[in-house]
Every structure is written in C-alpha cells, then in structure tokens.
Amino acid sequence: MGKTILEVRDLRVSFEVYGGEVEAVRGVSFHVCEGEAVAIVGESGSGKSVTAQAIMRLIAMPPGKFKSGSVIFEGRDLLTISEKEMQKVRGNKIGMIFQDPMTSLNPTMTIGMQIMESLIKHQRLRKSAAKARAIELLAMVGIPDPETRMKQYPHQMSGGMRQRVMIAIALACNPALLIADEPTTALDVTIQAQVMQFMKELQQNTNTSIILITHDLGVVVDLCDRVIVMYAGQIVETGTKWEIFKNPQHPYTKGLLKSLPRLDQPKNEPLIPIYGTPPDMIQPPQGCGFCSRCESAMRICERQDPEWTAISETQSVRCWLQSAGEKAAAVVGGKEADA
C-alpha cells in the first residue's frame, strides 16, 4: 500500500445531553493509505457515523465535543486548524457522501448549481468553466443527458440518480479522500449495486482513498480492502476483508457474519441474530462493551477493557478470548478458574 494519507489517533467524541454525557466515540485509532478503501462496519449507535463526521468536523458543538485525539491529514491535525482552514479542506481535499439522497440535496436549487458551488469556491473557476466541469462530472457518474439535468431540481430525479449527484458533488474537486456514510442504505437493492459498482470503478480509475461506513457487510466485499469493526464507540477488530470474513476473531464480528443471509445456506436454517442491545453510552461499561451480549463472556470481560492482540500482520482484535492466558489470570489474580 501507498503512504498513509489519514491517521486518526485516540479520537474521543462526546455529546452533552440532558441526562449526562454520551460517549459516542471512545478512543478510536486507525489509518487510511493512499488509494485504499477501508470499511467501518457496526450497528446503529456504534459511533461509526460520528467518527466520519468528526473527521470532517461536521459535528455541531455544542452539544458535541472532542475529548481528545487527533486527525492527521496531509501533515496537519484537522481538529486544531481554524474553521476557515477547515472550509478549504471540506469538499476540496475530502469529499463526503451522506446516507439519504432524498434529503441531502437542497430542494430549491438546481442540480447544476449545487455541483458548481464547490468548484467556484475551491477551484476559483468562472461560472462557464464550472458549468462545463459539472456537466463532465454528471456524465462521469453515469447520468444521461447531463445538460438537461443541470437545470433540473432534485425532486425531478430518482433516489439513485440523486445519490449519483451527491457523488458528483463529493468528487467535484478531485478529493484525495472520499468518506461515504452509508451511501446505499436508503436505496433499492438494484440501485445499491449500481452505486457500489460505480464507486469501485471510481476508486480503480482515480486512486481516491475511500472510507465506507456501513452496517451492511454485504456491500463491503466488492469495494473494500480493509475492514474496521466498531462496537459501542470502540474498534473491536480490524483486518483485511478476507481475514475478517474467513477468520473473524471477535465474537461480535462472528455474530455480524452469522446474522447475514447466505446463498449456500439450507433453506430452513434460521438466521442467527445477536441478542440484546448495545450498552447505554451515558454510562459506558467498565470492561468490554460487548460482554453483556457475548456468549463466551468471562469474568474479566466485565471488569477490564480488553487489549489489542495481533492475530496476523494485518489483523488484530480486542478481546480477552485471544489474550486470555497468563495476562488475564494476572489481572484477576487467579480467580479466572471459577468463571
């Protein structure tokens, strides 16, 4: 892989709410290399969207706040630069696609104008040049008759087309990094496939790095090189996609894969859900966040956060099952036997 373009270190994001402080992201660290596609998967509330929006600094503050951490992009910490500097990064160096294309476009502005906006802002193009580039972009994302579409409004387009327009907006200034926050969740399955196919081609042609945020492991396989599994605001396992799919180590990752329907599965065999709900993030658990739902939970899991264990050069997991041994025994003081 090429050199690292984004490095997130020990990111912690909290939200002040009426009942207290919600610790949405609790010490997340990962990196993205040039031309690499990384998937962040996890269920609702696992902190994956907050992580993405924190990179772009799109989190409303208050109620949100950065407790600690840094987001190093092109040698600078995005969390400490001024808002003005940040505006030069957003839409220019980092593009973002959002979940719901039905509401993510301004209903009172033409498609053309919405694409041209960032071109005019970041590349200082004249209106005519921006228009030409916008038509080019629309054609690139596979929208037929782009000249006519330029003058249309979002309500005149289907969901899939709108999501392509969103992609065109995000790609307008050739960003080095594209963050796609559940880009296919709101779309039909057939349209999902088209959009994913398109993102894959894009990645192959332009060498853009992609962070794909999703709760759907199915869409990961085609596009991504590496997978990061998040649970309760933490990363619990990371590895290449084949490591994660073929040899998952964390019980949560295993659960996610088991709850996925497979073509080779016997007809009558039921899907296995992960029982229970994620923990309350106002009072995050002291130990492993997953232990209340984990079938193989041990006593130590309740008491202490597991540490990272390297499974291979690329795969590591945060689970006591892997690093149990003498370390766990030492922590609990030999009481593990009766667990």
Partner 1 sequence: MVRFILQKFVFMIVSLFVLVTATFVLMNAVPGSPLQREKATTPQIQKNLEAYYGLDKPLIQQYGIYLKNLLKFDLGISMKKRFYSVNKIIADSFKYSLRLGVVSVITSVIAGCVLGIIAALHHRKFLDNLAMVLAVIGLAVPSMVMAPLLQYLFAVKFRLFNVAGLERPLDYVLPTIALSSASIAFIARLIRTTMTEVLHADFIRTAKAKGLPGHLIVWRHALRNSMLPVVTYLGYLVAGVITGSVVIEAIFAIPGMGKFFVQSVVDRDYPLIMGITVFYAVLLMVCRFLADIAYALVDPRMRNFTKKVA
Residues with Cβ < 8 Å from 265, sequence gap 6 or more? Answer: none
CB 81, min distance to partner 1, A: 13
Reading the block at residue 136, the tokens are 């080019």
Nearer to partner 1, 25 or 186 (CB): 186
Tokens 């923990």 locate to 279
Measured distance CA(326)–CA(324) in Å, rounded? 7
The interaxial angle of helices 189-206 and 159-171, nearest 10 deg, is 20
Q: Does residue 164 come out as left (phi exceeding 0), alpha (psi in the -120 to 50 range) or beta?
A: alpha
**For residues 49 and 315, which CB has a smaller minimum distance to partner 1 in the complex?**
49
Strands 234-240 and 76-77: unpaired
Separation between Cα atoms, residue 243 and residue 281, nearest integer Å: 29
CB 178, min distance to partner 1, A: 11
**Smallest distance from partner 1 to CB 56, Å:** 6
Question: Which residues contribute to the site for partner 1 (CB under 8 A)?
Answer: 56, 58, 84, 86-92, 95-96, 98, 100, 103-109, 117-118, 121-122, 153, 155-156, 166, 169-170
Nearer to partner 1 among residue 94 and residue 217 (C-beta): 94
Sign of the Cα torsion 243, 7, 63, 109 reads: negative
Verify cis geometry, omega within 30 degrees of 0, for the bond prior to 144: no
Closest distance of CB 89 from partner 1, Å: 7
Nearer to partner 1 among residue 127 and residue 246 (C-beta): 127
CB of 258 to partner 1, least distance (A): 33
Contact 214, 38 (CB under 8 A): no
Query: Which residue, 104 or 203, is less far from partner 1 as judged by CB?
Result: 104
Query: Which of 26, 122 has the CB closer to partner 1?
Result: 122
Work out how close the CB of 37 gets to partner 1 at its nearest, in angstroms, rounded to a whole number: 19
Residues 29 and 60: beta-carbon distance below 8 Å: no
Q: How far is the CB of 183 from partner 1 (least distance, A)?
A: 13
Q: Which is nearer to partner 1, 137 or 319 (CB)?
A: 137
CB atoms within 10 A of CB 108: 7
